[in-house]
Amino acid sequence: MSSKPSIDSSEARSQQDQEALAIVKKLLHKRLKVVVKDGRVFIGEFLCIDKQANIILGNTYQQVQSDTAPFKERPIGQVLVPASQRKSCHAEVMPNEREGLVHLLQAQQEIVTSD
């Protein structure tokens, strides 16, 4: 008979939620670069995310491709990026923060794949 501990699915979900929350907290007020499906690029301060994974950025600039320069930035202030329109999302973090985030993301992946 095996004495392997079993994790209730609600406990696993709670642990998964806590790991995701830890990742989000580490990213708060960091610069995010969000690319949307129509090709626009927004760079701003990560302010919040809701349960539907919509992101709000503050002090945001839109990168606009220009013929005269590689990129031109246009200030747009605060922007809500719907999860359904988000193509990719990248965070600017310091090298010492990167290790902690990688650890949290790996733990998150282990929980998801064990379900």
Global model pTM greater than 0.75: no
Residue in this structure with the two tokens 């302010």, named with its chain if needed? 47
Side-chain-side CA neighbours of 65 within 13 Å: the count stands at 3
Across residues 105-111, what is the average pLDDT?
56
Across residues 17-41, what is the average pLDDT?
87
The neighbouring-strand residues paired with 92 are 31
Record the tokens describing residue 18, joined without a space. Answer: 């806590």
H/E element, 92: strand 86-92
What per-residue confidence (pLDDT) applies to 2? 47
What per-residue confidence (pLDDT) applies to 110? 57
Instruction: Say if residue 58's pLDDT is above 50.
Output: yes
What per-residue confidence (pLDDT) applies to 29? 92
How far is Cα 91 from Cα 34, in angstroms, rounded to an integer?
9
How far is Cα 31 from Cα 108, in angstroms, rounded to an integer?
22
* pLDDT tens for each residue of 63-89: 987 667 677 889 999 999 999 999 988
* pLDDT tens for each residue of 2-26: 454 555 667 766 877 787 788 788 8
